[in-house]
Each structure stands twice: as C-alpha cells, then as structure tokens.
Structure 1
Amino acid sequence: MERFDFRGNQGLVVTHWSGYLQFLLQRGEKFRLVPMAELLNMTPSERTAYDLARLDFLSDRVTVENETVVNIRTTLETVMHLNHGKPRGGYGVFVSAPSGRGKTTAVHLVLGEVLAAYRDVNPSSLDNIRSCPVAYICVPDSGTPKSIYMEIADYLGIAYKPHDSDPILRTVVLAGIAGSGIEVFAIDEVQNLENGGSYSRRAADAIRRLADDTTATFLLAGINLEVTNLTRGARGMQISNRFIRADVAEYSPESENWMSRWQGLVTEMANALPLYATRPETLKPFAGPLHSMTGGSVQALNLMLTQVARELIEMADPRRETVTLEHLRAARVNMATEAHIRAQLGRTKTKADKSASTRAYRTKKPGPRADEN
C-alpha cells in the first residue's frame, strides 16, 4: 500500500431503510473470479478495475455459511411459521454471545436472505417504504425508550420533534411499522439497555411491547444478554417466554468437536477469498495456529485473512496469491486479539520457566548431608 485510501462519500446511510436494503443486496454472494487466461489478457486499466473490485469485496462482503448463520436462519424460519396468521405479537428470535463471535454479520446475512425471498414473491417491491420487509437498528448508548423510538423513526424516515414525548413517539413508530409491511425487525446492541440506568427496565418494556403490538417478527441480538435487564425478573420472564434462542457457534476447547468445526470455518473462509492460489486445503493445516492466534474469534479470523488477501492482490501476481502461515503471523490484529496473544505468550513463558526450573532441580547434584560435615 503506497497511499492512504480515502473512502469518499459512499452515499449509503444504513440507518435509513433505503440505505440498509441496498447494503443487504450487496452482501452474501461469492466473488466470481475470471479464468486465469482471461485475467492475464486484460488491459492494464481492466486489470486495475478488476483488482479494485476484489479489494472492495474484501472490505465488507466476505461472508460464509457457518453454524451461526444456519442456526439463526432455521430459528427465524420456525418462528415466522409459528407467527403466521397471528393478528399481532408472537414469538421472537434471541441471539446472544460474547463479542467477536460474528453474530451481527450472521444477522445481516440472514436478513439479506429474507429480503431476497421477499423480492422473489414481490418483484416490484422495495421502491418505497410501504415495501420494506426487514428493519435493523442498534440500541443507542443511552439505552432509553425515547432513544429507541427515535432510532426506529429515523430508520423509517418519520419526522419528529426532539421534545416529543415517549407516548407520541411510540404512536408514530407503531404506525410506521404497520405501514411499511416489515416482516422481520432486528434490534442489535441490546446490551446497551444497561446504560439507561433507571430507564433500562422501561426500555426493555418498550421493546417487548413493540414486539407485542406489531405483526413483525422481532430478532434481538447483543453481547451476553442473559445478564441484562432484558431477561431479569418478572419482566424478563415475559421476554424469555416469547423468544427462542438461536445458538451462536463457539470455537473453544470446551465445546464439542471444536477443532473440526473450526477447521470447517477456516476452509469456508478460504473458499470465500477472491484469490487465485489459495484453496480450502491451503489453509486447513493452519487451523490450529489460527485458533491459537485468534482465540477462536470469528471477527479476528476474518480480519487476519482479509488483510493478508488484500496484500496478496496488491502484489499484482495472481500465481503468487497463496496465504502462508508467515503472512498470517505478520498481519496486524485488533486489540482484543493482541491481548489474547500476549496472555498466551505469557502462559507459554511461565510454563517454560517452570519446566526449566523443574529440570534444573532434578539434575542438581545433592550437597553433603549435615551429619557428614
């Protein structure tokens, strides 16, 4: 990389329904590599444009059919089937896991599938807010009922005044959801409810009542939601009784068949990379070291692989686009992964020091006994 890459104004506002639907339409498909012979016959300008397209794909569109995606999809299908025909309310989907497991990416991918299925049934849809099959918002940091209503109003393009009361905002939001035909409403970062202090329980109630008073199927996602006000006490029991968990895959040594499942994830990621000399079998032997480096974090794995892939594409030699363990170890990582690696190195060093001390003790010659002096 010889320059700073400026994004410019992409013109895609994902906090508004039209921008979010466009965002979904760009995801979920594997990059189609042209044959090597065709690539080598491209003009310099064609080759530059093609490589830029590969780099853009790596930026935010590398997705795989992993366990989490399958679990969210099947749970959502079940819940939507259970809710079919209900005048309002019904069951919802609950997605909770520690940070870095890839749950948000999986939610976007499944919502994209819902959108694609809706378009198949309604080819002329998506032209206006009255044909908006999916919605996605994040709970704001403040975690108050009003802030949640305002996020929904912004998504739906509903005008409001800053001093509007909670009841007024709730009324316009309910009307907006009903008028847009939303089938699935995803609310992410639900752990932010805890930031609302005394308002957090009211915010949890606001989300539950929205799910009760609309025909949309609600999907709630966030970090370790089991310990938030969303599921505590009598109010939390109402959520627990109405939402069905979609498991998020865990790749820790404590989980069942974790290494074979992790290998599957790594090979799927390799297959999704738009590279010419990297295949699933190329990365399978690196699954163990990659798990050690990332701690089983899907987010960290994606960061490392896409970073290396970008560097290989920028070499402008497709025959050398092979991901190696040296490339992966040289990749920059996020701070969470950096802390994991440092802790791991610390444990390894401590273990090595103990082993060395033990060996020194066992090989040390005994000194004379006191009664021999």
Structure 2
Amino acid sequence: MTVAINTREGWSAFVSETLDQPIPITREELEALSPGDRALNREARKKFMIRGPVVNTAQFTAIEREILRRLMLNQYKSHGKLGVIVSGEPNIGKTTTVSHIARRFERRRRDIGRAGGSNSIPVIYVSVPPSCTPKLMLGEFAHFLGLPIRPHYNTGELMNTVASVIAACGTELVVVDEIHNINQKYKQMGEASDTLKQLSEKCPGTFVYAGVDVEASGLLDGTRGRQISSRFQIMHLQKFENSGRAKTAWADLLVAVETSLGLLDQETGAILRHASHLHTATGGVIGDLTGMLHMLAMDAIDDGTERLDLDAVFGTRPTPAHRDLPAAR
C-alpha cells in the first residue's frame, strides 16, 4: 500500500523508489512468453508509465533552476530567506512539479552523502489544510516529522518543538502545497501565514509554496501578502498552446508522453496526427493530457492492441499504416 508523501515514511519511500524501464520487446517476443510472464510484463509497463520519470518540460526546468538558485543563496542568509511560489490552474502539474523537483534534490543529496544518518531529513513536504489555523499548520509539520502533539501544547511550544527538530535534521527544502488555502483576509489564516514566516526564519530550509491561482487566492493580499511577494519568486505553470512558436513545444510534449507509454505497436510520432484534437480535448493542460493517454494506453495493453486508438476517440479515419494490425493475445 502506498503511503501519502506528507509523512516522513511516505516521502522517503517516494524518494527511494526506483523503477527500471521494462526492456523493450517485440510483439513476437511478448507472444512467446508464458501467460504469467506476459501478464507481469504488461503490469510492469503500466506501472512504469504511471509512476516513472516525469517529462522534463521547459517550464519544469525553469522552476527547478529557480528553486536551486534560491537554495544556494539562502545558505548565506541569516534572515529574510528567499522562496519560490509555483502557481497555476488545477491539474496543471503543480504538485507533480514541486514533488519531483524535491525528490531529485534529495536523491542528489543522498548520492553525495549529505543525506546520511537516521536523523537527516533533507526535504519536508506538507499541505495546507482548509480553514487553516497556526496550530493546524504546525500540526502538519509535526505529522510529517512523526512528532506527538500534546493536547496542552500552545502554538508557541509547538513552533519551538517543530523548529528545533527541523534544524536538528538539517532540512534544506520545505515544500508547502495547497498554499491557496491561506487567505489573508481571514484572521486565523493570516496568522497561519505568519506561522510559516516565523518557521522559515527559525529553520535553515528554503520554502517552496504551490497552489491554485495564488495571486487570486488572497495569500498575497495586504501587508502580509506584500511581504511574501517581496521574498518569493512567483513561477507560473501554464497551459501548452498549439499555435505559432508554441506549437513545437506541444508536439514535443506529445511525443515524449507517447514514448513513455511503452506500447509495442505505437509508431513514434503517430500521435502528432491528432495534435489538434488532443489540444482541444485537454485544453493544453498536461495533467489532463497524461490522464487521458494513460487510460487509453492501459486499455491498449490489456486488450492487446498495443497502440493508441485515437481515431476511435475522435471519430477520425485511420491512415492505411494503422489499419488491420494484428492483436496480441
């Protein structure tokens, strides 16, 4: 059973998981396998498709670069630490982006021996709960760290406990997801925002916020909001366009996702014939695109067709090269 990444155990498992891409095989080789091995191959391909490496888009690369820059700068700052806000529409890939950037960061730390020892926690990942209060916010950190929350703790005691543990664990990167749940016009939420600010000053880590349309959420309103804006670089995840110069980026994304599906009879680049249809269907939102293609690919693996049947989806005519392909049994 998969453990949520907002716990230390779940995050560690997420970082540690290494999925080897199944060795490419032909349809004939698949048919030559025993029924059991054939089923294992199909499940391995589906698992790698869903949980394998993310597509490194230009937006992903730009956000990762900015986070790493601020991590470096904050090593030499005693106060006023700089952070990054990742903002965008729902399902645009914010959580996927920040979690995989943080995962790659921690894996690099492990590779160079800077994340060794049972007390080391290079990355913390938490989400802001709805109707957040200072105590609830600190409770999310305590939950990740596995700290018991005493009923008699007040906010100050909980703050000191959480901050001291984070400092002792050498945390370098703190990801706070669902940051749009904080609206400065509500007193308790404004105080929760102050709590994050205080925590950032007490801890050595760089904070990264991610949320839906953050500029319109109320997080950046008022004096508190202006303070956040002055310290955090806002990075936008945007829809992919399918016109002008942006058309190439959409095509590159389609081919990258197509390649990751591992379908035996999917010709590389065949997906481009439906580039406009896919853009209309998904609005250029990467989460909607991958969700749609993953569902179609899993069906193709299970029923043995081993290719995306986008003609059936969009009511278009298949090209001659795609007609009458034999189905795997």
Match of 1:215 in 2: 204
Judged with a 3 Å threshold, the aligned counterparts in structure 2 of structure 1 residues 287 and 62 are, in CA distance, closer, same or farther, namely: farther
Moved more, 210-219 or 151-160: 210-219
Match of 1:18 in 2: 9
Match of 1:304 in 2: 292
Letter in 2 for 1:68: Q
Judged with a 3 Å threshold, the aligned counterparts in structure 2 of structure 1 residues 39 and 191 are, in CA distance, closer, same or farther, namely: same
Secondary structure, in 3 states, of the residue corresponding to 1:93?
Answer: strand
Contact 1:63 1:272 in 2 (8 A): no
The structure that is helix-richer by fraction is: 1
1:149 aligns with 2:149: no
1:322 aligns with 2:307: yes
- Deviations 1:190-233 (Å, cap 9, x if unpaired)? 11113993211111111122222211011001011112332112
1:35 aligns with 2:20: no
Higher Rg: 1
Letter in 2 for 1:52: E
Give the TM-score taking structure 1 as reference length: 0.78
Secondary structure, in 3 states, of the residue corresponding to 2:21?
Answer: coil
The partner residue of 1:236 within 225, 232, 251 is 225
Gaps of 5+ in 1: 1-9, 331-373
Q: Distance in 2 between matches of 1:256 and 1:295?
A: 16
Contact 1:142 1:196 in 2 (8 A): no
The partner residue of 2:270 within 276, 279, 282 is 282
Q: Distance in 2 between matches of 1:182 and 1:250?
A: 33
1:188 aligns with 2:199: no
Q: CA deviation at 1:66?
A: 1.4
Q: Distance in 2 between matches of 1:327 and 1:20?
A: 40
Moved more, 185-194 or 280-289: 280-289
Contact 1:290 1:301 in 2 (8 A): yes
Judged with a 3 Å threshold, the aligned counterparts in structure 2 of structure 1 residues 224 and 30 are, in CA distance, closer, same or farther, namely: farther
Contact 2:180 2:217 in 1 (8 A): yes
Secondary structure, in 3 states, of the residue corresponding to 1:90?
Answer: coil
Q: CA deviation at 1:329?
A: 4.2
Q: Distance in 2 between matches of 1:38 and 1:179?
A: 53
Contact 1:271 1:280 in 2 (8 A): yes
Q: CA deviation at 1:88?
A: 5.2
- Identity fraction in percent: 27
Gaps of 5+ in 2: 316-329
The partner residue of 1:101 within 79, 92, 95 is 92
Q: CA deviation at 1:74?
A: 0.8
What is the root-mean-square deviation in Å for CA atoms of aligned residues? 2.4
Give the TM-score taking structure 2 as reference length: 0.87
Letter in 2 for 1:286: H
Query: Any residues of structure 2 matched to 1:1-373 within 5 Å, and which?
Result: 10=1, 12-26=3-17, 31-36=21-26, 38-61=29-52, 63-87=54-78, 89-122=80-113, 125=116, 128=118, 130-194=119-183, 197-252=186-241, 257-315=245-303, 317=304, 320-329=305-314
Secondary structure, in 3 states, of the residue corresponding to 1:94?
Answer: strand
